[in-house]
Structures are given as C-alpha cells and as structure tokens.
Amino acid sequence: MGLPTTTTAEPTDGPEPASAVTAPDVASTGRSRSLYPWLVFALTFALLLSDYMSRQVLSAVFPFLKADWALTDSQLASLTSIVALMVGLLTFPLSLLADRWGRVRSLVLMAVIWSLATLCCALAANYEQMLAARFLVGVGEAAYGSVGIALVLSVFAPRVHSTLSGAFMAGGSFGSVVGVSLGGVIAVHLSWRWSFAAMAVLGLLLVAVFRAVVTERRLAEHNAEADPHTDLPVSGRIRVPVSTLFTNPAIWCAYVGGGLQMFTAAVLLAWTPSFFNRYYGLAPDKAGVIASVFVLLIGSGMVVCGMITDRVSRNDPSRKWASAVAYCIVSLIALGCAFTLETGAPQLVLLGIGAFFSAGSSGPTAAMVAGLTHPSVRASALGTLTVSNNILGLATGPFVVGVLADRIGLLGALQLTPLVYLAAIVALMIGRRVYPAGLRTLAEQSAAAAARA
C-alpha cells in the first residue's frame, strides 16, 4: 500500500510538507511512486537480515571454536553478549546522531562497519581477536534497528505502521534462521572462517545496492511523516523534551517488561544449536538446521502475537498489557516443562510452543511505548526500548546461561532460564495498573509543549 499518487498543496501557517513541495517536480509515474516505499522497505529489511546473519552465525560455529581454541562456555557466551551489549549501550546516542547527520548515510556506515568487522571474525587467530572483532560488529549494528524502522515508517502512511513494525522486528529472527542454518552448512563443508566471510560479502553487496537506490532526496519526495493534528512534516511538529521518555511510570514498566521477556528468547537464539549438538548428538550443520526451525518459530510468533494483540485490543488498548502477560505465561510453562523432559518428540513439541511465544510480547510492548510517548520523541522511545531489550535480554541471557553452563551444565542452565518470565510478568502487570495514569501524563506533557510553542 503506497502513498497517494497526487498531492495538493494547501496553504498553511508553517513550512510546507516535503511531499507538497516536491510532488509537482517528480517525474515518476503514480505506479513508481507507490512502489518506491516498498523498495525502501525491502532493501532496509534485507540489510536487517544481514545484520542478524552476521550476529547469529557465531552460534552455528560454537562447536568448532570450542574445539579449535579450547574455549569455555562462558567465553563462547561472551562472544555473543558483547554484540548485544554494544547495541544496548550505543543505540540511544547513535539514534540521536542519525537524526541529525542523516538516516541514509548513517545506515550505510553502520552496514559497512558490521560487514568489515564480520570479515575480521573470519581472520581472527585467537579468542582475543575474535572478541575485538565482535565488539566492532556490535558497534556497527547498534542503532540499525531503531534508525532503520524510522526510515521505513517515514515513507508509509500511519495506517500500515503497526504491520510494518511487527514485520521489521521479526526480521531479526528470520535473519538469525538464515545465519545459523547457512553458517552451519558452510562451516562443515568449508570451514567456520568461510561462514563469517560469506556473511561479510553479502552485507557489502547489499549495502552497495541500498546506497544506489535509497537517497535522502527520494525519501523526501515520498515523505509521509506528518503530524496528525497539523498535517506538517516532522520538522513542523510540536516537540516535547527527551526527558519525558523517563518520567512516565507506565513506560518504565514497558521498558523493563519488554527487556526481561527477551531474556529467554535470546538464550534460545544463542544456545539452541549447542543444545541439539550436545543432547541430541547431531553434527553442527544438522544441529544448526534444526535450531533454525525454532528460531523461525520465534520470529513467526512475534508477527502472529502482534496481530492477535491488535485484534483483541482494538476497542481497549489496555488489553495489550494482558496479551503480553499471557504470552509470557504460556512460554514459561511450555519451556519449563520441556527442559525437564527426556529428549524426544514431547520435548520438541513443548520447545516449539515455548519458542513461538517466547518473544510474543515484543509487539505489544513496542505498541505500549509508542502509545505512551509523544510523536516528536517516539523514535527515541523505541530506541530506548531497544536498549532495554539488549541490556536485560539479548546481552544478559546468553552470557548468564554460559556462566551457569560451566558450573551446572547447559541443560541445568536452560532449566532455570524460563523463571525470568516471572519478573517480566510482574513488571507488565504493574504497567497495566498504572496505564491510565500514564495516558494522563502523556496528555499533560502534550498540552504543556503546545502551550510553550
């Protein structure tokens, strides 16, 4: 669904929207105008896949690194967690910089950095060099998610923003599927170094195409970012202070609940290949392929759970909180039971159910954050949620399990993992209770900003 094929410039008291200024000069046909936003989405989404392929290919080569360099599980986990840690620490400041320096240039630079860093992983001679290269992967990938989705939403009408956001967030899991499965196959038939090299080359090719097609000028021609009250572009909006992202208790509950519910999903993404390698006796390539099915379930669950939440909360937005709690409970029970069973079909079924719902709260929590923040700081709010997801979940989960695995075994560590959902449930239930007050706080912030304007 694209933008209207014609634009009528209405006189206003403020600056004209970019689309109104440029539309008469655009030589493209209505069909090409409607296809361009989808081309932007496709290329940005493709780079997101490359992002997560470069990040998660490491999981597929864990057995090779452990054998070649005699690494402990905690060292393997640190190679995963260092990326998520950098993403958590740098997402917010780099997102602010991207808004000022230019989103397209920022995304291109990010992709080049993580692709070259992934190539350095292929050349690493020891654990220390690999850790340094993974550090740079994290620096490159830090703000791609928040800046990428902001760029995509800027060329689409608001009526499709929820669908696009859900699909974009799930892209991480789909990229992980390809990275884990393809990386495992390449490692077995060539070497683990070629697994990293293949991801690096793919990333560089995609960023070259992205840079040739996506430009700031063409994005301005298709700009759909208008304030719903004034029909002005982003630059004409009333702005509230960035501090409002941290003064609303309901938003804090969404940040914390969203981050904690990612803990177990991150563990599944990082350690499922090793689980099947160690406890099902599968070779690394086959373990990676089987694990990719469960990673695919995680991504599919994010999309489906988001759609379910939109439907049940259509007339009552507070139901988003209840939906998020329900997904956490289902995954807690399914995974808690699965890791206590012997290997076999019943365990796999429960693992599949748990994986499907493990990150199901991601869509609802993002919607909560968006609904509790003013449009002028919404991108920064989603960047803050990304920070929470990485610090509390994606960085912490794999590392904690790695440390525990060195002491009580991988299975014992996995048995404890679902208990983190209990903390997420508490945060989300508190959030539902203070949600009405959060909406009143948002109204007061908006009114104060309008009065200052």
Q: How far is residue 261's CA from residue 269's CA, in Å, rounded to a whole number?
A: 13
Q: How far is residue 144's CA from residue 87's CA, in Å, rounded to a whole number?
A: 9
Q: How far is residue 156's CA from residue 162's CA, in Å, rounded to a whole number?
A: 11
Which pair of tokens denotes residue 210?
Answer: 């992205």
Is the pTM higher than 0.85? The answer reads: no
Helices (H), 61-160: 62-69, 73-101, 103-123, 127-141, 144-153
pLDDT score recorded for residue 158: 53
Closest CA to 223 of 145, 167, 151: 151
Q: Is the pLDDT of residue 353 over 90?
A: yes
More confident residue, 289 or 166: 289
pLDDT score recorded for residue 238: 63
Closest CA to 364 of 409, 318, 330: 318
pLDDT score recorded for residue 25: 41
Which pair of tokens denotes residue 271?
Answer: 């350690």
- Residue 233 pairs in a beta bridge with 226
Distance of CA 282 to the CA centre of its chain: 29
Range of weakest confidence among 161-170, 242-251, 260-269? 161-170
The residues near 83 (Cβ < 8 Å, ≥ 6 apart) are: 55, 134, 135, 137, 138, 141, 395
List, for residues 114-143, the tens digit of each pLDDT value. 899 999 999 988 988 989 999 999 888 887
- The mean pLDDT of the chain is 80
Q: How far is residue 213's CA from residue 36's CA, in Å, rounded to a whole number?
A: 9
pLDDT score recorded for residue 37: 84
Q: What are phi and psi of 406, to 5 degrees?
A: -65, -20
